[in-house]
């Protein structure tokens, strides 16, 4: 009989508040078995459902713990602010720097939405006939490219079979022909570069002659 695996029930299951998270010192993040709810940091009201049954939804904004529940820390000045600086991201004490207490008003960084996500991009209007022609041209280019790749692959495959069927003398002759073709290709490329350089020299000489002629005309004016 096959052994049945049953998921072990975690009585915590992110229901009870994380003590270290309330002090902004928990480093487990998503791997922590306790609840990390930023809203509960702003609340001093104990959840009746959790208090009586120890069960409630994870996103409940009420407190699921009794850690320093009755202490009104928001009225007490932060000791570390003037003694090296407060480094807690969500410190419950009062600060002279008002920006440190913004999270208590609900403007926490984790829930801030980027404006770029809400920006509506205007759609570009296009003639449907132009769009259809562009679509067909793109499809035709894609098919043409696929055909070329298929032909190239087939030629390489057939050539490989032909070479494998050759004897030693035939392979040497085939290699000699390939070397001649490669030499001819290199020679044509060199001739093309020389012709391009010659055309550039001719163009530069022509421009220089035109400039000399203009300077000579200016000298004649004086």
DSSP state letter for 11: S
Which pLDDT score, from 0 to 100, does residue 66 have?
80
Question: CB–CB of 21/64 below 8 Å?
Answer: no
Number of H helices, E strands in the chain: 4, 0
Round to whole Å and give the CA distance between 222 and 219. Answer: 5
Contacts of 65 (CB under 8 A, 6+ apart): 16, 17, 19, 22
Dmax over Cα atoms in the chain, in whole Å? 116
Round to whole Å and give the CA distance between 174 and 72. Answer: 93
Per-residue H/E/C for 32-99? CCCECCHHHHHCCCECHHHHHHCCCCCCCCCECCCCCCCCCHHHCECCHHHCCCCCCCCCCCECCCHH
Which pLDDT score, from 0 to 100, does residue 73 have?
67
DSSP state letter for 103: G
Predicted structure pTM score: 0.30
Which pLDDT score, from 0 to 100, does residue 217 have?
66
Partnered with residue 46 across adjacent β-strands are: 63
Q: Can you give the pLDDT of all 222 residues of the chain as single tens digits?
A: 455 544 444 455 678 888 888 877 888 888 888 888 888 877 777 888 888 888 888 888 888 888 766 566 677 788 888 888 888 777 777 888 888 877 766 544 444 444 444 444 445 556 667 777 887 888 889 899 989 889 988 888 888 888 788 888 888 888 888 888 888 788 888 888 888 887 787 777 777 776 667 666 666 655
Reported residue count of the chain is 222
Which pLDDT score, from 0 to 100, does residue 70 have?
57
Cα-flanking dihedrals φ and ψ of residue 59, to 5°? -90, 15
Which pLDDT score, from 0 to 100, does residue 169 have?
85
Which pLDDT score, from 0 to 100, does residue 110 have?
47
HSE-up (13 A, CA, CB side) for residue 55:
4
């Amino acid at each position: 009989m096959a052994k049945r695996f049953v998921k072990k029930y975690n009585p915590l299951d992110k229901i009870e508040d994380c003590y270290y998270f309330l002090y902004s010192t928990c480093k487990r993040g998503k791997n922590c078995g306790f609840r990390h709810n930023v809203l509960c940091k702003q609340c001093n009201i104990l959840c009746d459902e959790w208090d009586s049954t120890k069960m409630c939804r994870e996103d409940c904004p009420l407190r699921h713990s009794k850690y320093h529940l009755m202490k009104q820390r928001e009225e007490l000045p932060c000791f570390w602010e003037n003694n090296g600086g407060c480094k807690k991201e969500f410190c419950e004490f009062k600060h002279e720097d008002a920006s440190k207490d913004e999270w208590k008003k609900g403007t926490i960084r984790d829930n801030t939405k980027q404006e770029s996500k809400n920006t509506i991009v205007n759609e570009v209007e296009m003639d449907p006939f132009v769009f259809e022609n562009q679509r067909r041209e793109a499809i035709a280019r894609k098919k043409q490219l696929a055909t070329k790749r298929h032909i190239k692959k087939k030629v390489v495959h057939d050539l490989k079979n032909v070479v494998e069927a050759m004897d030693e003398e035939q392979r040497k002759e085939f290699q000699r022909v390939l070397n001649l073709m490669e030499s001819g290709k290199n020679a044509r490329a060199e001739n093309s570069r020389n012709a391009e350089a010659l055309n550039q020299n001719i163009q530069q000489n022509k421009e220089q002659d035109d400039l000399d002629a203009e300077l000579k005309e200016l000298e004649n004016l004086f």
